[in-house]
Copies of this chain bind each other. A is one copy, B any other.
Amino acid sequence: MNVTLRQLRAFTGVYRTRSITRAARELGITQSAASLLIQQLEAQLGVKLFDRSTRSVQPTLAADEAFDAAERMLSDAQGLSRRMRDLAQARAGRVAFLASAGTASALLPMVLAKFRASHPDIEIDMRDVAADDLVPRLTATDAEFAIGSVEGEFADMTIETLTSGRLSAIGRRTADFAARRSLTWDELAQLPTIAMRRETRIRIQIDQALSAQGKRLDPTYEVTLINTALAMTAQGLGLAILPATMLPADQFPTLIARPLVRPAITRPVSLLQRQGRTLSPAAQAFVATARTVLAGRTTPASG
């Protein structure tokens, strides 16, 4: 057998109290059990730890030396337990995840704010990445999950849609525009528009959906960043063509979104996880927050 923490607990107890009986009471065991634990430890270490008579329990020099080491081990054990409990309850820890650039800028800030309010001590490491890189990066890095607009199936990945935004025209709140319930892509063709560049994931999706219907989008401006498109829209340069979920209402209070129809195109925001990999409790808490926050923003699929 080997030294056990039980024995060390008994040892430090006896060392401090100079009494087997008192130490046993502290540990919630009987005096005889404590006596045995000390005997075991002495046999284990090959050293007498206490000179004991019925009337006194005197630590030996060896006990003096052993005491510090024993205390350190016990406090390490307690520290480990406490730390793990904190991790388990998501009161401590770190969440590393990937987010596509658009999601990170438009959708996640409010999730982050809510999460930070409820879990102030959890470190967050959000890495924004091109949408196409989400899956390869998730397999390669230590990120626990990814959030972004991804569709399809991937080996060793589970995918879950958190919310989905209808492709919309975003423009200034003019009386004319505000009156509209929706716009068709055909109507849009006659207006100045701002869309994402052709290489972007979102644009590819649009172009594919439209060409399936024999239509096409000829934007007045093409940009790379969502924020650029929104800023230009706010300046009245045209209507931004983006999922409605991508409009942060607080950043652009003058803008409103109206769904585009014929065809209606929806764009999911999905959560990607590696299969067979448990999320850390902190990450689980974050995902839960994301689910509730984003669920409130889902554009109904029909309408």
Instruction: List residues 46-90 of chain A with CB under 8 A from any CB of chain B.
Output: 46-48, 51, 53, 56, 58, 60-62, 65-66, 69-70, 72-73, 76-77, 79-81, 83-85, 87-88
Expressed in whole angstroms, the minimum distance between the Cβ of A214 and any Cβ of chain B is 49
Q: Closest 3 A-B residue pairs measured CB to CB?
A: A45-B84, A46-B88, A69-B80
Pair A281/B2 contact, Cβ less than 8 Å? no
Pair B3/A80 contact, Cβ less than 8 Å? yes
Contacts A47-B87, A47-B281, A83-B69 known; A2 to B3 CB distance under 8 Å? Answer: no
Is A243 close to B, CB under 8 A? no
Is A278 close to B, CB under 8 A? yes
Query: Is chain A's interface secondary structure helix, strand, loop, or mixed overall?
Result: helix
Pair A88/B5 contact, Cβ less than 8 Å? no
- Copies of this protein chain in the complex: 2
Contacts A277-B58, A278-B48, A278-B60 known; A66 to B94 CB distance under 8 Å? Answer: no
Pair A88/B45 contact, Cβ less than 8 Å? yes
> Complex: how many Å from CA A4 to CA B76?
12
Pair B280/A62 contact, Cβ less than 8 Å? yes
> Complex: how many Å from CA A48 to CA B280?
8
> Complex: how many Å from CA A281 to CA B5?
25
Pair A4/B3 contact, Cβ less than 8 Å? no
Contacts A5-B4, A62-B84, A85-B45 known; A72 to B76 CB distance under 8 Å? Answer: yes
Expressed in whole angstroms, the minimum distance between the Cβ of A184 and any Cβ of chain B is 49
Pair B51/A81 contact, Cβ less than 8 Å? no
Q: Which residue from chain B places its CB closest to the CB of A56 in the assembled complex?
A: B276
CB neighbours of A238 from chain B (8 A): none
